[in-house]
Amino acid sequence: MLIIPAIDIKDGKCVRLKQGDMDRETIYSDDPATMAGRWIEQGARRIHIVDLDGASQGKPVNADIVHRITESHPEVPVQIGGGIRNEETVTAYIQAGVQYVIIGTQAVREPQMVDDLCNKFPGHVIVGLDAHNGKVAIEGWSEISEHSAIDLARNFEHAGVDSIVYTDISRDGMLQGVNVSATAALAGAITIPVIASGGVTNLDDIRLLAERSQSGIVGVITGRAIYEGTLDFSAAQALADELAASYRIA
């Protein structure tokens, strides 16, 4: 199971929000590219980037910073979400070295777009489902849809989506523990691998998720916990590796 550091970019800075609220931010660095390098030095095997300005404006805003990260660390896969609304944006990111693009709002509004992107960019498309009480939020979490996360995820099973990033937005940035039960329920209901997100606090969360990894949870995104020190990144990845090995042996 991968432990994936989050680089959330707002106004050119590396920040974390509480429950997706753009007015409740904590700035951790003025240089997101340097911060990405820090996690890679500690052993990160993938980086998760969110263009928060892009998510609210519906178009890429911090693409230049994303490009700096992919150019500096071409050996580490990068996944990017926020403001990806059309094929042109996806093409530009893929050409800039991004490995995975995360489609959120448009996956809900225009599911055919996901099918088309999977056909054109096989293995490079992730769907991001951000849920509140089981219902998917869109438009930078400003609007709650009537769609359930599990029902939407099932719609993408045969589209060729690489994986689903599932975020419990009520816990995101709150250090209240990851919603393991909801994440495992989603993973168990579909054949697409699931990446957990939202609320990761400490090694107990990593242990609980790893114990459910056989249901299809392949990774977990962490932000505030590694920035504020409640979770040691290197220790978390080492624990995930250790538990994965023990489950394989068993």
The tokens for 225 are 């916990």
The answer to whether the beta carbons of residues 184 and 146 sit under 8 Å apart is: no
Burial of residue 248 (CB within 10 Å: 0-12, 13-18, 19+) is exposed
DSSP code string of the chain: -EEEEEEEEETTEEEEEETTEEEEEEEEES-HHHHHHHHHHTT-S-EEEEEHHHHHHTS-SSHHHHHHHHHH-TTS-EEEESS--SHHHHHHHHHTT-SEEEE-HHHHH-HHHHHHHHHHSTT-EEEEEEEETTEEEETTTTEEEEEEHHHHHHHTTTTT--EEEEEETTTTTS-S---HHHHHHHHHH-SS-EEEES---SHHHHHHHHHTGGGTEEEEEE-HHHHHTSS-HHHHHHHHHHHHHHHHH-
From the candidates 53, 130, 168, 205, give the one annotated as an active-site residue: 130
Give me the phi and psi of 53, to 5 degrees please.
-65, -40
Query: Is 130 known to be catalytic?
Result: yes
Instruction: Give the residue numbers annotated as catalytic, written as ranges.
Output: 8, 130
